A and B are shown apart, each in its own frame.
Chain A
């Protein structure tokens, strides 16, 4: 770990500082730049994602004004987000009206899979512009909200792009972050993707029906999860068979009524 400086000519320096206390760290002002005169340093002090965060707050306010609670559902590709929603939405209906904002790099396959379970679905493909964005940001979610009947909804589930890295960095205006982890992914995942696991309020451990066929050590997974996130609520279930689904449904009902 150190401080990286890269110059336009490609030279890179990296050096460590003995004193890593933030308050006393010296700043490289002036002489670092190599410009003789006429260059002036202007303080900015703005969060890089400040604009995203302001849009996320606007989403949160609009959703709250319509009485809608919102979950940002994240996972790696294929962990079972859509399968979990297909199991969850009919079980909550009709007492809780669920909407889904479906984020995918391309195709409407997931949105189509949810259309027949009684949810209002808004699809946001992230492939517009510079390749396919690997995450939903607050502005993409805002565009998708306009296509949902918010006044008729109690709960909005934002199914993020399947990815354990980038979605964790972007606030989209949710009330809670939930993630799906499949037991087929290996017990070390919380250590490899600590930001995703650390920021989750709830972790769904999915595909437990496959445990008899796997060598995975679930107690090691739980220990790794606790090391990066001591407070997340954890649900072990199978979206395929429905085993263990009730505590997850209870958590959603509780969140919706809060």
Chain B
């Protein structure tokens, strides 16, 4: 539901780093616990960029699984459900090690095309 706002933020970040070059692709990392629907994000990306220098620019989403580490047994569990419970010992004293990412990692720029 807030994917359009995210696309506006992504586009602003891209603009800060492109140095005026044509941007072919934007690589973003989105954690599984972020409430982002990939299809909606792609749709909003296209919609947001219509008529702007980013029109036609590809959005490549690296979807990062949610994972926890148990402070009790030390094991790591990739979460299929958002339950913070160790998959090995059922412990609940766990720390989230991934799944909350929401970053622009890199952009692919074509410096020949302006």
For residue A22, which residues in chain B have a CB less than 8 angstroms away from its CB? 64, 67, 97-98
* In the complex, A49 has a CB within 8 A of chain B: yes
Q: Taking the complex as formed, is A109 at the interface, i.e. its CB lies under 8 A from any CB of chain B? A: no
Q: Are A169 and B60 in contact (CB under 8 A)?
A: no
**Complex interface bits, B87-114 against A, C-beta within 8 A gives 1, otherwise 0:** 0000010000110001111111111110
Query: Which residue of chain B has the shortest Cβ distance to A47 in the bound complex?
Result: B103
Q: How far is the CA of A198 from the CA of B14 in the complex (A)?
A: 31
Near A by CB (< 8 A), chain B positions 22-77 give: 24-25, 27-28, 32-35, 38, 42, 56, 58-65, 67
> Across the two chains, which residue of chain A brings its CB closest to B62?
A3
Measured CB to CB, the nearest residue on chain A to B76 is: A21
Set of chain A residues within 8 Å of B10, measured between Cβ atoms: 48
- The answer to whether A39 touches B109, judged by C-beta atoms less than 8 angstroms apart, is yes
What residues of chain A lie closer than 8 Å to B110, measured between beta carbons?
Answer: 35, 38-40
Which of A40, A44, A45, A165 interacts with B111 by CB under 8 Å? A40
Interface of A is mostly: mixed
In the complex, which range does the number of interface residues on chain A fall in?
35 or more
Cβ of A168 under 8 Å from chain B = yes
CB < 8 Å neighbour of B12 from A51, A130, A134: A51
Task: Note all chain B residues with C-beta closer than 8 A to A42.
Answer: 17-18, 106-109
Q: Are A47 and B2 in contact (CB under 8 A)?
A: no
Chain B, interface residues (CB within 8 Å), range: 35 or more
Residue from A41, A134, A230 in contact with B107 in the complex, judged by beta carbons closer than 8 Å: A41
Can you list 25 residue pairs at the A/B interface with Cβ under 8 Å? A1-B65, A4-B38, A22-B97, A33-B58, A38-B111, A39-B24, A40-B110, A42-B106, A42-B108, A46-B104, A48-B9, A48-B10, A48-B13, A48-B103, A49-B9, A51-B9, A51-B13, A130-B4, A133-B2, A135-B5, A165-B1, A168-B35, A169-B2, A191-B81, A228-B84
> Which residues does chain A contribute within 8 Å of B82, judged by CB atoms?
191, 194-195, 198, 228
Q: Which residues of A contact B104 (CB under 8 A)?
A: 44-46, 48
> Looking at the complex, which one of B13, B34, B98 makes contact with A46 (CB distance below 8 Å)?
B13
Are A227 and B33 within 8 A (Cβ)? no
| Interface of B toward A, CB cutoff 8 Å | 1-2, 4-6, 9-10, 12-14, 17-18, 24-25, 27-28, 32-35, 38, 42, 56, 58-65, 67, 78, 80-85, 92, 97-98, 102-113
Closest 3 CB pairs of A and B: A194-B82, A166-B2, A44-B104
Of B24, B35, B63, B64, the residue contacting A195 (CB under 8 A) is: B35
* B residues in contact with A1, CB < 8 Å: 32, 63, 65, 80
Q: Which residues of B contact A7 (CB under 8 A)?
A: 58
Contacting pair A44 B107 (CB below 8 A)? yes
Closest chain A residue to B6, Cβ basis: A48
> What is the CB-to-nearest-CB distance from B30 to chain A, in angstroms, rounded to a whole number?
8
Q: A134-B1, A169-B35, A228-B84 are in contact. Are A40 and B13 (CB under 8 A)?
A: no
Inside 8 A of B98's CB, which chain A residues have their CB? 22
Sample of 8 more A-B contacts, CB < 8 Å, known A42-B18, A50-B9: A4-B38, A35-B110, A39-B24, A40-B110, A134-B2, A168-B35, A194-B33, A228-B84
Chain B proximity of A130: nearest CB distance (Å): 6
